[in-house]
Amino acid sequence: MKITDHIKNANGKTLFSFELLPPAKGQSIQWIYDAIEPLLDFKPPFIDVTSLREDYIYKQKDNGLLEKLSYRKRPGTIAICAAILNKYKVDAVPHLICGGFTKDETENALIDLQFLGIDNVLVLRGDARKADGSFIPTPNGHAYASDLLQQVKNHNAGKFLHEDIEVEYKSDFCVGVAGYPEKHFEAPNMETDFRYLKQKVDMGADFIVTQMFFDNQKYFDFVNKCREHGINIPIIPGLKPISALSQLINLPKIFHIDLPQDLVEAVQSCKTTKDVKQIGTEFMIQQCKELIKFGAPVLHFYTMGRPEQTRQIAEAVF
Ligand code: FAD
């Protein structure tokens, strides 16, 4: 079922969903099942599976240079989505990214997804490869999420890349895009970022999932600003509980987000990782309660395949 229909059918009740990433190569599908099963009690109508571009994994040396440690390859997002849909009868939402994929490969992916009965996709540009510094489009691939969105919309309309004859084919993917309550880091300002988000919505995006944030006011302002810009589709907040001291540095560095001072101080005062998790959990429970009060359609958790903390939060909130 489409995510927009799940939201409509909920009649204003906030739903619970979460995101997984494909495990590192060498793991089995059991890794995915173990990441899902503790969260099924909260009846997620959908589960997202991210897509990671192949890349080297680096270590930064003392002189600042990068040293290659290994090559990142993971089992395919589509195969994992098929397994989830078949085993749990829960809608699985693959992330489709521009980076690393030609338009033909994307078309093949869409044909596979249609065949498998997958109804939703989240389209994204994808992150830059580490050594590239900034995002470099794949030859014969897409440069922006909006270009990829256009391909999905064309696909829904039965327009294939190399076919000029009409074919009997129907896909009707419900398409999500990313939104950034604290601005995408490359956008020169919030207004420009909104302009490109609006472009994606005008091209037919059906829902938005946000980058993580820790200050609800940023989400509230973002939603209000979207509405002012005529963006009226559901805006699903993305949430990640703090679970380690190192995240005080890593989350702002990787995701370009701010952490509230009271949260930072509380985490800094912790003696053990267990204490940090406790603080992160309590903080997120408060965040969730406020978001539900605001009327967020879904609370979407970035679990990274580790369900325990999200389960604790969901137990307190749903
Ligand atoms: P875009 O919408 O293409 O925007 C990228 C930048 O370009 C922005 O600064 C925007 O303002 C600007 N822009 C947009 N359109 C234009 C245009 N036509 N001309 C000029 N500038 C333009 N990454 C992964 O690799 N895999 C994942 O699975 C993944 N999942 C994610 C899920 C969510 C919910 C979110 C929020 C992010 C996710 N990401 C993922 C990260 C995402 O790919 C990066 O944040 C990426 O840098 C931007 O992606 P986007 O889809 O927002 O890009």
User: What's residue 180's pLDDT?
Assistant: 98
Phi, psi of 55 (to 5 degrees): -165, 165
Q: What is the mean pLDDT of residues 192-218?
A: 98
User: How many angstroms separate the alpha carbon of residue 293 from the centre of ligand 1?
Assistant: 29
Q: What is the pLDDT of residue 43?
A: 98
Residues 34 and 80 sit within 8 Å (Cβ to Cβ): no
Structure tokens at 82: 């098929």
pTM score: 0.96
For the cut 90, the answer to whether the pLDDT of residue 169 exceeds it is: no
- Split into its structural domains, the chain has a count of 1
Structure tokens at 67: 């040293």
pLDDT, residue 228, reads 96
- The Cα 83–Cα 106 span in angstroms is 20
Ligand 1, CB within 6 Å, residue ranges: 50-53, 95, 97, 124-127, 144-146, 178, 184, 186-187, 192-193, 196, 209, 211, 238
pLDDT at residue 85, as a whole number:
98
Tell how far the Cα of 316 is from the centroid of ligand 1, in angstroms.
Answer: 32
C-alpha of residue 224 to centroid of ligand 1, in Å: 21
pLDDT of res. 65:
83
Ligand 1 atom nearest to CA at 300: 34
Q: How many A from CA of 62 to the centre of ligand 1?
A: 31
Domain assignment of residue 7, given as a range: 3-317
Q: What per-residue confidence (pLDDT) applies to 208?
A: 99
Q: What's the whole-number mean pLDDT along residues 211-220?
A: 98
Q: What confidence score (pLDDT) does residue 149 get?
A: 98
The percentage of residues in the chain with a pLDDT greater than 70, rounded to a whole number, is 100
Q: How confident is the model at residue 182 (pLDDT cuts 50, 70, 90)?
A: very high
Distances (CA, A) of 275 to 38, 281, 286: 22, 10, 17
Q: Which residue has the higher pLDDT, 166 or 16?
A: 16
Tell me the per-residue pLDDT of 88-136, one tens digit each, with 9 for 90 and over.
999 999 999 999 999 999 999 999 999 999 999 999 999 998 888 899 9
Query: What's the whole-number average pLDDT of the chain?
Result: 95
Span from the CA of 121 to the centroid of ligand 1 (angstroms): 14
Q: Which of 29-38, 125-134, 288-297, 299-308 has the lowest mean pLDDT?
A: 125-134
Q: Which atom number of ligand 1 is nearest to the Cα of residue 178? A: 36
Cα(148) to centroid of ligand 1, in Å?
11
Measured in whole angstroms, how far is the alpha carbon of residue 152 from the centre of its chain?
17
The mean per-residue pLDDT over the stretch 238-248 comes to 98
pLDDT of residue 61: 84
Give the residue, 73 or 1, on which the prediction is more confident: 1
Residue with tokens 């510094």: 133
Domain of 220: which CATH number?
3.20.20.220
Mean pLDDT for 305-315 is 97
Q: What is the pLDDT of residues 260-284, one digit of tens each?
A: 999 999 999 999 999 999 999 999 9
Packed helices 273-294 and 261-268: angle between N→C axes, nearest 10 degrees: 160
Ligand 1 pocket test: pick from 196, 301, 302 the residue with the most ligand atoms within 8 Å of its Cβ. Answer: 196
Given a cut of 80, whether residue 166 has pLDDT beyond it is no
pLDDT tens, 41-88?
999 999 999 998 877 788 888 888 888 877 777 779 999 999 999 999
Angle (CA) 215-221-225 rounded to 5° is 150
Instruction: Answer yes or no: are the C-beta atoms of 289 and 5 closer than 8 Å.
Output: no
pLDDT at 235 over 90: yes
Span 202-209, mean pLDDT? 98
